[in-house]
C-alpha cells in the first residue's frame, strides 16, 4: 500500500481519537449507508486529524480506494498511522516542509485518481500548473480562500464549490473557524480577552465569527474592511470600524481574516504596540507580510492558527462540512459536468441540514 508516514507505531492512539470524533458526527453516520463508491479512487487533501479521518473511512466503507495527503504543519502523525492501520493510503508527515508536501501531493496525483477533495485548492492548482490532472473527473473545494484562487484559474475539470453551500459557510466559517481560531490564539498565548482589544481585518463570514467570539469573551473589537457593505454590517453588529493602520496601535490581538495575501503589511506591523499578538484565521500563505521585524508575536508562522497550531474546528461543525464533501464526491461521479466551478445542488445542502436537525431531535413546522 502506498504510504509515507512518520510514526506508524502510534496507530492505537489515533484510532481512539477517531472513535471519539465519530460519536459527535451523526450526519456523516447517516450518510454512510447511502454512499456507493465501488471502484472509485479518491484523493483527500484535508487537515489530517480525527474528524477528517472519519471522512476518509466513510469513503472507504462506501467502496472507494482512498489516498490522503496533508501539509506537514496540519498532520497528526497518530491519526495518519491509524488510517494506514485501517487500510487507507496516507502520504503525510508532520516533519515535511513545503517542498516535501508538494512531492507527496505529486505522488498522490500519480495514482490515477477519479476525484480530488481539496482544502485551500493547493493540489487542484498544482495539478493544473504541472499538467497532472490525469484521470481526474472532478474535484471539490472546501474553503473560501481556495475558491477565490480557483476563480482566477482556467479550470480544465469541474470543481464543486463546497464552501458556497449554506450548511458550510453559515456554520463552519462563522461558528467553527471563529471559535477555534480565537481559542487557539488564547491557548498559545495565555491572553485574557476580558478588557483586551482585538482588531479583525476582514468581515466576511470568518471575520464575523472571530469578532463574535472575541466579543463574547469580553474583548473590545475593532473591524477593518475594504468593502462598504461589510464595514456597514460590522458597525450595525456593534463593532468599531477603522482603518487597520489606525486600529493596530490599540490591538492586543490582531487577526487577519481575509484569505488574501499581504493583508497585514509592514505599516500595520510597525504600528503594533510591544507584545501584540498576530494570528491568521483561515487564510493563505503570506497573509501576513513576512520578514518584518518587531516586538509583536506571530502565531503559527502566519499559517492558519486553528489548523497549524491546534486541532481545527469543533467536531459538530465539521460533521456538516465533511458530509457535504462526501456528497460532492457522489455528485461529481453521477453527473458529467463541464469544466469550471459548480455549486453543490440545493437539495444536497438541504439534506445535510435536515439530517443535523434530526440528530438534534428538532422538528420543522408546517
Q: What is the pLDDT of residues 253-310, one digit of tens each?
A: 999 999 999 999 999 999 999 999 999 997 788 999 998 988 999 999 999 999 989 8
**Contact assessment for residue 308 and residue 73, using Cβ atoms and an 8 Å cutoff:** yes
Q: Are 178 and 151 in the same domain?
A: no
Tell me whether residue 308 is in a domain: no
Phi first, then psi, for residue 144 (nearest 5°) are: -65, -50
Q: How many angstroms separate the CA atoms of 238 and 199, rounded? A: 14
**Within a domain: residue 183?**
yes
Verify that 75 and 190 share a domain, yes or no: no
Residue among 187, 216, 222 nearest 201 (CA): 222
For residue 340, is it left (φ>0), alpha (ψ between -120 and 50) or beta? left
In the listed set 303, 324, 339, which residue is the last one of a domain according to the structure?
A: 303
Contacts 24+ apart (CB under 8 A), 342-350: 342/158, 342/159, 342/160, 342/161, 343/160, 343/161, 343/164, 343/165, 344/160, 344/161, 344/162, 344/164, 344/165, 348/165, 348/324, 349/165, 349/166, 349/167, 349/324
In a shared domain, residues 63 and 34: yes
Both 48 and 181 in a single domain?
Answer: no
The pLDDT, as a whole number, for residue 291 is 87
- 209 with 234: CB under 8 angstroms? no
Hey, what's the cell of 230?
A: 461589510
Residues 285, 261: Cα–Cα separation, whole Å: 7
Q: Do 157 and 268 fall into the same domain? A: no
- Per this entry, what is the length of the chain? 366
Burial label for 87, CB within 10 Å (0-12, 13-18, 19+), is exposed
Q: Quick: pLDDT tens for 94-133.
A: 999 999 999 999 999 999 999 999 999 999 999 999 999 9
As a whole number of angstroms, the distance between CA 211 and CA 268 comes to 19
CATH number of the domain encompassing residue 356: 3.40.50.1480
Same domain? 158 vs 185: no
Q: What is the pLDDT of residue 256?
A: 97
Together in a domain, 347 and 284: no
If asked whether residues 159 and 225 sit together in one domain, one would say no
Residue ending a domain, choose from 303, 323, 348: 303
Using alpha carbons only, what angle is made at residue 322 by residues 89 and 284, rounded to the nearest 5 degrees? 85
176 secondary structure, DSSP code: I
Are 148 and 197 found together in one domain? no
Predicted pLDDT of residue 284: 80
Which pLDDT belongs to residue 293?
A: 87
- φ/ψ of 153, rounded to 5, equals -110, 135
Same-domain check for residues 190 and 329: no
Taking alpha carbons only, the member of 200, 165, 180 closest to residue 345 is 165
CA distance 133 to 156: 8
Rg (Cα) of the chain, in Å, rounded? 20
> Does residue 366 belong to any structural domain of this protein?
no
Task: Tell me what pLDDT residue 355 has.
Answer: 97
Q: Is residue 273 part of a domain?
A: yes
Q: What is the CATH number of the domain that holds 222?
A: 3.40.50.720
Q: Is residue 224 part of a domain?
A: yes
Q: Is residue 365 part of a domain?
A: no
Cell numbers for 309: 497550531
Q: Is residue 296 part of a domain?
A: yes
Whether 119 and 208 map to the same domain: the answer is: no
Residues 348 and 160 sit within 8 Å (Cβ to Cβ): no
Burial class (CB in 10 A: 0-12, 13-18, 19+), 284: buried
Over its length of 366 residues, how does the chain's per-residue pLDDT go in tens digits?
A: 899 999 999 999 999 999 999 999 999 999 998 899 999 999 999 999 999 999 999 999 999 999 999 999 999 999 999 999 999 999 999 999 999 999 999 999 999 999 999 999 999 999 999 999 999 999 999 999 999 999 999 999 999 999 999 999 999 999 999 999 999 999 999 999 999 999 999 999 999 999 999 999 999 999 999 999 999 999 999 999 999 999 999 999 999 999 999 999 999 999 999 999 999 997 788 999 998 988 999 999 999 999 989 888 999 999 999 999 999 999 999 999 999 999 999 999 999 999 999 999 999 999
How many independent structural domains does the chain possess? Answer: 2
- DSSP-assigned beta bridge partners for residue 69: 45, 91
Is there a domain that residue 265 lies in? yes
Range of the domain at 177: 173-303
Do 146 and 11 fall within a single domain?
Answer: yes
φ, ψ of residue 121 in degrees (nearest 5): 60, 20
Amino acid at each position: 500500500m502506498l504510504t509515507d508516514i512518520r510514526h506508524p507505531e502510534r496507530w492505537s492512539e489515533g484510532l481512539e481519537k477517531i472513535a471519539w470524533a465519530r460519536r459527535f458526527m451523526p450526519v456523516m453516520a447517516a450518510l454512510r449507508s447511502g454512499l456507493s463508491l465501488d471502484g472509485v479512487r479518491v484523493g483527500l487533501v484535508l487537515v489530517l486529524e480525527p474528524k477528517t479521518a472519519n471522512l476518509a473511512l466513510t469513503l472507504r466503507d462506501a467502496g472507494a480506494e482512498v489516498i490522503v495527503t496533508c501539509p506537514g504543519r496540519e498532520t497528526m502523525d497518530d491519526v495518519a498511522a491509524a488510517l494506514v492501520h485501517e487500510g487507507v493510503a496516507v502520504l503525510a508527515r508532520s516533519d515535511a516542509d513545503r517542498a516535501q508536501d508538494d512531492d507527496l501531493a505529486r505522488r498522490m496525483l500519480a495514482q490515477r485518481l477519479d476525484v480530488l477533495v481539496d482544502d485551500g485548492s493547493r493540489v487542484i492548482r498544482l495539478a493544473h500548473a504541472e499538467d497532472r490532472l490525469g484521470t481526474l473527473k472532478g474535484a471539490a473545494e472546501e474553503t473560501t480562500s481556495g475558491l477565490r484562487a480557483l476563480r482566477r484559474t482556467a479550470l480544465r475539470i469541474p470543481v464543486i464549490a463546497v464552501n458556497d453551500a449554506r450548511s458550510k459557510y453559515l456554520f463552519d466559517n462563522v461558528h467553527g473557524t471563529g471559535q477555534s481560531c480565537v481559542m487557539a490564539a488564547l491557548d498559545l498565548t495565555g491572553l485574557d480577552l476580558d478588557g483586551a482589544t482585538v482588531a479583525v481585518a476582514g468581515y466576511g463570514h470568518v471575520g464575523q465569527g472571530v469578532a463574535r467570539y472575541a466579543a463574547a469573551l469580553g474583548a473590545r473589537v475593532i473591524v477593518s474592511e475594504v468593502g462598504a457593505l461589510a464595514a456597514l454590517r460590522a458597525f450595525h453588529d456593534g463593532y468599531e470600524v477603522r482603518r487597520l493602520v489606525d486600529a493596530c496601535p490599540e490591538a492586543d490581538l490582531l487577526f487577519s481574516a481575509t484569505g488574501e495575501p499581504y493583508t497585514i503589511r509592514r505599516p500595520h506591523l510597525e504600528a503594533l504596540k510591544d507584545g501584540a499578538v498576530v494570528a491568521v484565521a483561515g487564510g493563505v500563505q503570506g497573509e501576513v507580510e513576512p520578514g518584518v521585524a518587531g516586538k509583536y508575536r506571530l502565531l503559527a508562522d502566519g499559517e492558519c492558527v486553528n489548523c497549524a497550531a491546534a486541532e481545527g474546528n469543533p467536531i459538530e461543525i465539521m460533521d456538516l462540512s465533511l458530509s457535504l464533501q462526501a456528497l460532492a464526491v457522489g455528485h461529481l461521479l453521477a453527473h458529467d459536468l463541464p469544466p469550471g466551478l459548480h455549486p453543490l445542488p440545493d437539495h444536497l445542502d438541504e439534506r445535510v441540514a435536515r439530517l443535523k436537525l434530526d440528530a438534534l431531535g428538532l422538528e420543522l413546522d408546517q
